[in-house]
Amino acid sequence: MERKNVLVSEADLAVQRDFQKKIKDMFTAREAHPVACVDTFGCQQNVADGQKLMGMLEEMGFTFTDKAAEADLVILNTCAVREHAEDRVFGNLGALTHSKKENPEQVICLCGCMAQEPRVSERIKKSYLHVNLVFGPHALWKFPELLWRVYERRKRVFSVDDEHGTIAEGIPVVRERGVKAWVSIMYGCNNFCSYCIVPYVRGRERSRDPECVLAEVRELVAAGYKDITLLGQNVNSYGNDLDIGYDFSDLLADIDRIEGEYLIRFMSSHPKDATKKLFDTMAASRHVAHQLHLPFQSGNDRVLQEMNRRYTREKYLSLVNYAKSVMPDLVLTSDVIIGFPGETEEEAMDTVSLVDEVGFDALFTFIYSPRPGTKAAAMPDPATRAEKQKWFDKLLEVQNAKSAALHAAYIGKTVRVLVDGKSDDPDYPLTSRTQGNRLVRIRGGEELMGRFLNVKITDSNTWALYGEAEE
């Protein structure tokens, strides 16, 4: 794929800005004050996409609500990664028939990863007639034009063509007020892990120009954001498609030179492409958090091969050992799947033993969910749900004990945290994060929000630390 075909041209983006204006003018002429509800499911990439949708909507004159019943426009920005995620969206779509009855002018959109699955868009076309607009991640930048078509023609609009994907720079973004910001540095995935739907719905890997990423991070730091996460399905292959001899470590090192008080995080890292250079760059940086989300998925080599992950248990362990040797304070998290088709109890216990051996600070654990169209969905899957649940419970038991022990070891220590939110616990009304992204619940008033503090850890449990700010 040639680079010049990947970037959406300035002229095409200008056309979309014209559509934004047309919609705004239409509402102004009607003296209407349109309200939108954008409901985002799934990963941080989808959250970042949702913020772009809100950016475009703001330009069209919309304000926002989180109550679908009060909205003129409802957008479900969906995730396709597991069946459960899809079921929730179909449930929500069903419920919207009531709000549409109350307000027949309400416009309902379904976008995101589910929309890009032909199986889903066909089902919406046939059975969810109250949905006005369906578009996949590839069409996100054309949202103003698609929405204009809905308003102008009052017809249903579907934009779900299968594409390799593009990069559209300069789309406005509505970010959460506060301290955290997301920056997509690349889109798509080339890895085709055999269980995963993402490469089918998000297209091929394409990296943003380093200058665009650097400019965005500079702006965020200047605007006071202090906790910035770089996003990609596999940030370790950033730059492969740029052909300029510039990789993810180079990008991190360049970002690190930006002056200010802020932290840089990133996710996700694929172990097959993680390098010593990356860990050395993290260790030598001023702003890159010593935190690594390095999904291993399985601790058994046969299962890893069937998953098409392209590393072994041994390679994974050697990466982790190297990373810990150059960053002794590294906070390590991972994703893991139990019950991949054909996995035996013994193989699942290899995963449990890897968890025991490594000592992850936290794990995101999933029971395998077949995704139609992926290679694994066609594999024989003899283990019962009850067996998989038993293996899964064992995994959780081991991990929860690890997390609790790792957290207990913080008691009595002083850690530097960034105060990032409020909690509903009256004894510990603020939440904060360590450099390694561990949750620390603290006492104190709202004036501490957005500040870096030294906090003495006084208590802990499996999920969080508790502490008090030092003078």
368 interacts with, out of ligand F3S, ligand SF4, ligand SAM, none, CB within 5 to 8 A per kind: ligand SAM
Smallest separation (angstroms) from ligand F3S to the CB of 78 = 7
Smallest separation (angstroms) from ligand SF4 to the CB of 198 = 4
Nearest to 362 by CA among 391, 316, 402, 414: 402
467 interacts with, out of ligand SF4, ligand SAM, ligand F3S, none, CB within 5 to 8 A per kind: none
168 binds ligand SAM (CB under 6 A): no
What's the rounded Cα separation, in Å, for the pair 433 and 415?
10
CA 344 to chain centre: 30
Among 48, 255, 331, 337, contact with ligand SAM (rule: CB under 6 A): 337
E-state strands within 146-205: 157-159, 180-184, 186-187
The smaller minimum CB distance to ligand SF4, of residues 270 and 433, is found at: 270
What's the rounded Cα separation, in Å, for the pair 305 and 110?
35
Cα-Cα-Cα-Cα dihedral of 271, 277, 278, 281, to 10°? 160
100 binds ligand SAM (CB under 6 A): no
220 binds ligand SAM (CB under 6 A): no
233 binds ligand SAM (CB under 6 A): yes
Query: What residues line the site for ligand SF4 (CB under 6 A)?
Result: 189, 191-193, 196, 198-199, 233-234, 270
The smaller minimum CB distance to ligand F3S, of residues 198 and 418, is found at: 198
Token pair for 69:
């019943």
Nearest to 171 by CA among 8, 401, 409: 8
**Residue holding tokens 């994060």?**
433
The smaller minimum CB distance to ligand F3S, of residues 121 and 432, is found at: 121
Smallest separation (angstroms) from ligand F3S to the CB of 231 = 10
Q: How big is the chain by its Cα radius of gyration, in Å? A: 23
Smallest separation (angstroms) from ligand F3S to the CB of 189 = 8
Asked, as a colleague might, if the bond just before 268 is cis with ω within 30 of 0, I would say yes
Smallest separation (angstroms) from ligand F3S to the CB of 184 = 11
What residues form DSSP beta bridges with 39? 76
CA angle 216, 222, 228 (to 5 degrees): 55
| Full 3-state SS string of 15-53 | HHHHHHHHHHHHHHHCCCCCEEEEEECCCHHHHHHHHHH
> Which one of 66-74, 159-167, 194-202, 242-250 is the stretch in contact with ligand SAM (CB under 6 A)?
194-202
Nearest to 55 by CA among 38, 32, 72: 38
Query: What residues line the site for ligand F3S (CB under 6 A)?
Result: 42-43, 45-46, 79-81, 112-113, 197-198, 202
299 binds ligand SAM (CB under 6 A): no
The smaller minimum CB distance to ligand F3S, of residues 34 and 137, is found at: 137
207 binds ligand SAM (CB under 6 A): no
Binding residues for ligand SAM, rule: CB under 6 A, are 43, 81-82, 195-196, 198, 233-234, 268, 270, 295, 297, 335, 337, 366, 368-369, 371
